[in-house]
Structure 1
Amino acid sequence: MLTDRQGNALQGANAQSADFYSQALEAFNVYRNDPVALIDQAIAHSPDFAMARIFKAYVLGLATEPQANEEAREIVSSLAVQRLTEREASHLSALRLLLEGHWTKAAIVLDWHNMEYPHDLLAIQTGHLMDFYRANAQNLRDRLGRVLSKWTTDIPGYSILLGMHAFGLEETGNYGRAEETGRRAVDMEPLDCWAHHAVAHVMEMQGRAEDGIGWMITRYPHWSGDDNFFKVHNVWHQCLFYMDIGQTGKALALYDRSIRGTRSTVALDLVDASALLWRLDLAGAEVGDRWEELATCWDAHMEGSQYPFNDWHAVMAYVGADRQGSLVRTMNSLQALAKSESEVAGWARNLGIPLAKGFAAFGRGQYREAAEALYPTMFISNRFGGSHAQRDIISVTLTEAAIRGGMGSLAEAMASSRIDTRPRGAINQGLLSRSKV
């Protein structure tokens, strides 16, 4: 039987489909090119190639987009009548749980799977992404820690594991080891965007904006190609560095050219756009009618949304564009989701709704109401999607609400807390200065 490059059996594949599968996995590993197109080629050559269809379902299921998720469910239904190996059946169990909104249960299935099949790179990477989407910093690190001893540098994909491990180390606060591991990963595979962004995260969390700008510019050819799925997110990091040294103009120019230049409708790109434009707006940049374009793009993702982290970022756009009807629909959607039995219901109930209310109140100029809604979320926001850097927008907005709402004690306390961890940044220094007025 044919195997993938890590030695895992590929039941139902022929030489051509196995080759397309390997190409797709390599594209997925470094977030370049179009893995789905390559998977489709594999399926076209071998319609009964179960792992190819499982792979496609993962990519669609992890997109956090309603239409893509529905297509993933159709693939899972078709796989249910196919005779699968134990490894394939394990993947299918994880996929079912993921698509039912049980992210942690799905991730735990892949925990066990990774221990049984430690060289299954697809399982490791999809499990790592599930850990990211549910903001489980410990497992972002430990999923890799549990399998790395089973790998050697001569096994294809070893550097990809290092890049994932670097991000897990960063999210658990081990910044020195994270940077060392991330740099090693990109030395081995310069196109590894995930490893590159792990190092950028270290610099962001340590307030090393100048280092971060240098890191992004020096490695620009490796992460900035049009075929790079992670390009927008890495530009987002570059913009944060510019903002942290007071160069909001450069950040706004990058927003126009590289974040919204193609008018992407991909949910992950829209999340970055909302989060950056909100920060720019708070910083006093002239954002003009940019909110309108972004809000329109979000509309296509709201029907059937099952990921409250996205809904919260859509709310930012609707607040910015003053689309009250869209705000109401999004809030109603979150409230309906909160009544379901899935894990994401808890995310909607405990975080999605309070964050939506807090950001909407901020947009109405009801700053005390915004602060009261946002303050409790800071202590549990690591229970749903994104990184520490992404969720930092809660603290920034809360501090700004306290300043604008005349809540001097809260404003100074929040600004002082931010200065305690990142004393050099222009944003934090500005917040502290304004909180004492």
Structure 2
Amino acid sequence: MHSQWRDCQAWSNFGLPLSTTSNEAAKMYDAVVAQYVGVYSDKSVGGIRKALGTMTDADPNFVLGSALANILSVCGTSQNANTNDDIRKSIDKMMMMMNNNNITARERLHVEAVKCFAEGDMETACSKWETILVDHPTDIVAIKLAHDGYFFTGRSEQMRDSTARVLPHWNKHMPFYGNLLGNHAFGLVETNLFKEAEDTAREGLDVNPYDAWSTHSLNHVMEYTGRHKEGIQFLNSTLGTWDKCDIFASHNYWHWAVFHIDRGEYEEALGIYDQDIAPRALKIKGMLEILDATSFLYRLELEGQNVGDRWQDIIDLCRPHVEDHVIMLNDIHVLMGCLGARHTDLTKKLMDTLREYVSQHSKQHKSGVFQDVGLPLCEAFVAADDGDYAKAVDLLHPVRYKVVNIGGSHAQRDVFNLFLIDAALKSPENRHRKLARCLLTERKAMRKNSPLTDRLIARSLALHVD
């Protein structure tokens, strides 16, 4: 892991000069970048939050440092300048600092991108980061933020191509090269280039065995190609490396548990949840951990498994986010938590405020994802929870190919495929049972080695279809 923090001269020598004269601020900026890109907490600087504080104390007028602090706040809280007054004030202060300081064109683009992102315009933000990368292809912050923006909006091809364009300018001796390969591998696997993704991820681990994104990309390769047993063995054998990336470890544990669910090994999956996924979610309280926990429990219930009172521990994590409506992927997972815990009041608040948001705001991310996809998706989950499976199918099936626009990975969004199949199997209408068989035929063609798919096919064949 990168730990030789760069001072002002070192940043300039790297071709990315900073508009600060404080070496301490420059070094702490590097420390924050390292932890963000490497998804870990460095105890030597007190973690990301402490490093940000030290950076700001060293130079309160460090504009690029302010931009980094703001974007991490937005990404970490699932709120933005439209929903949180503190974030709005911080963005306004950052813009004032930009106008009152002589900063580089690259830094100005960063600030403008952060403002766009914080106001919900991720498309324009990504465009500005891409503009930076034309002239500064080694700006890992622009690379990573564009990657995250594409992830949040479901743009897999852009995620792949963004890293592909800058790779020729990098080499294994540069800080974060292994992390860059891990991110590129993820773009490859999300566009179904499995061999290329696996080769790139393994190269990333050769450069940096601790890169959790390379490990993560291999998890996706193994899931999509039906290598569940190999995935379990891989994660078990490399536990001592990726587990050190504590900011992302929960998600790799989630993949480990999902491998077990596909194989029908429910006790093993629950063991991982109880020992690692849930405790980390309750401690960190981050959105990624909430997504992992709610998705895991919902998948198990779709498999007919009793998760006991585990939802009750998670609902308090979901409660602060029922009115966020910033990223649709987050909203639907928070809804899963509300439904799973049988909190009708929170479910109603989420749905009421979501409908209000859709009626009062312009189309999110210029794609209408909340109105065209998010609302019917959430309504389908509520309908199924009320026992109206036919309504759930009729709501979700017409938009199933648009669900990609809510963001996330194919693996994360697969819970919606499983939900649709389950609802179609439970629907009293014959046309939905026929649809379930069609969906399963399609799924089998893509996932030839999935025991879970085979179990669902057996369920469908046991039903009478006219």
Q: TM-score, normalised by structure 2?
A: 0.90
Q: After the TM superposition, which residues 47-86 of structure 1 pair with which residues of structure 2 at under 5 Å, given as runs?
A: 47-66=60-79, 70=84, 71-82=86-97, 83=101, 84-86=103-105
Is structure 2 residue 36 aligned with structure 1 residue 16?
Answer: no
**Count of residues paired in the alignment:** 436
The superposition leaves residues 48-89 of structure 1 with CA deviations (integer Å, 9 ceiling, x where unpaired) of 222221111121122252279744433321121222321111
Is structure 2 residue 48 aligned with structure 1 residue 28?
Answer: no
Which consecutive unaligned segments of at least 5 residues does structure 1 have?
Answer: none
Is structure 2 residue 108 aligned with structure 1 residue 89?
Answer: yes
The superposition leaves residues 234-254 of structure 1 with CA deviations (integer Å, 9 ceiling, x where unpaired) of 111001101111101111121
Is structure 2 residue 271 aligned with structure 1 residue 253?
Answer: yes
Query: Residues of 2 paired with 1:274 and 1:349: CA distance?
Result: 23
Query: Residues of 2 paired with 1:246 and 1:230: CA distance?
Result: 25
- For 1:330, the equivalent position in structure 2 comes to 350
Query: Residues of 2 paired with 1:342 and 1:60: CA distance?
Result: 23
Query: Residues of 2 paired with 1:149 and 1:30: CA distance?
Result: 21
Query: Residues of 2 paired with 1:6 and 1:325: CA distance?
Result: 54
Q: After the TM superposition, which residues 183-262 of structure 1 pair with which residues of structure 2 at under 5 Å, given as runs?
A: 183-225=202-244, 228-262=246-280
Is structure 2 residue 463 aligned with structure 1 residue 415?
Answer: no
- For 1:285, the equivalent position in structure 2 comes to 305
Change (3 A) 1:203 1:334: same
Query: Residues of 2 paired with 1:304 and 1:385: CA distance?
Result: 16
SS of the residue corresponding to residue 313 of structure 1 reads helix
Query: Residues of 2 paired with 1:283 and 1:342: CA distance?
Result: 35
Question: Deviation at 1:230?
Answer: 0.4
Question: Deviation at 1:286?
Answer: 1.8
Of 376, 381, 385, which residue of structure 1 is paired with 2:398?
A: 376
Query: Residues of 1 paired with 2:31 and 2:122: CA distance?
Result: 27
The superposition leaves residues 95-149 of structure 1 with CA deviations (integer Å, 9 ceiling, x where unpaired) of 1111111111211111112112211111111111111111100111010111112
Is structure 2 residue 134 aligned with structure 1 residue 120?
Answer: no
Query: Residues of 2 paired with 1:403 and 1:395: CA distance?
Result: 12
Query: Residues of 2 paired with 1:130 and 1:35: CA distance?
Result: 20
Query: Residues of 1 paired with 2:9 and 2:57: CA distance?
Result: 17
* CA root-mean-square deviation: 1.8
- For 1:176, the equivalent position in structure 2 comes to 195
Query: Residues of 2 paired with 1:336 and 1:166: CA distance?
Result: 39
Amino acid at match of 1:411: A
Amino acid at match of 1:326: L
Is structure 2 residue 459 aligned with structure 1 residue 434?
Answer: yes
Amino acid at match of 2:308: G
Preserved contact between residue 133 and residue 385 of structure 1 (Cα < 8 Å):
yes
Amino acid at match of 2:314: L
- For 1:111, the equivalent position in structure 2 comes to 130
The superposition leaves residues 229-278 of structure 1 with CA deviations (integer Å, 9 ceiling, x where unpaired) of 00111111001101111101111121111111241421111011111100
Query: Residues of 2 paired with 1:176 and 1:314: CA distance?
Result: 34
Question: Deviation at 1:13?
Answer: 4.1
Which consecutive unaligned segments of at least 5 residues does structure 2 have?
Answer: 1-7, 42-46
The superposition leaves residues 292-340 of structure 1 with CA deviations (integer Å, 9 ceiling, x where unpaired) of 2222221111234322211111111111122222112111222222231
Change (3 A) 1:136 1:67: closer
Q: Percent identity?
A: 28
Query: Residues of 1 paired with 2:209 and 2:88: CA distance?
Result: 35
- For 2:4, the equivalent position in structure 1 comes to none
Query: Residues of 1 paired with 2:151 and 2:296: CA distance?
Result: 20
SS of the residue corresponding to residue 96 of structure 2 reads coil
Change (3 A) 1:2 1:53: farther
Deviates more, 1:417-426 or 1:139-148: 417-426
SS of the residue corresponding to residue 9 of structure 2 reads coil
Query: Residues of 1 paired with 2:178 and 2:372: CA distance?
Result: 37
Preserved contact between residue 18 and residue 42 of structure 1 (Cα < 8 Å):
yes
SS of the residue corresponding to residue 252 of structure 1 reads helix
SS of the residue corresponding to residue 62 of structure 1 reads helix
Amino acid at match of 1:163: G
Amino acid at match of 1:373: L
Question: Deviation at 1:391?
Answer: 0.6
- For 1:166, the equivalent position in structure 2 comes to 185
Change (3 A) 1:370 1:113: same
Amino acid at match of 1:59: L
- For 2:9, the equivalent position in structure 1 comes to 2
Query: Residues of 2 paired with 1:193 and 1:75: CA distance?
Result: 31
Query: Residues of 2 paired with 1:329 and 1:252: CA distance?
Result: 30
Question: Deviation at 1:16?
Answer: 1.9
Question: Deviation at 1:155?
Answer: 2.3
- For 1:42, the equivalent position in structure 2 comes to 55
Of 320, 340, 363, which residue of structure 2 is paired with 1:300?
A: 320
SS of the residue corresponding to residue 306 of structure 2 reads coil
- For 2:331, the equivalent position in structure 1 comes to 311
Q: TM-score, normalised by structure 1?
A: 0.95
Change (3 A) 1:371 1:202: same
Query: Residues of 2 paired with 1:168 and 1:6: CA distance?
Result: 26
Of 356, 367, 382, which residue of structure 1 is paired with 2:378?
A: 356
Preserved contact between residue 76 and residue 92 of structure 1 (Cα < 8 Å):
no
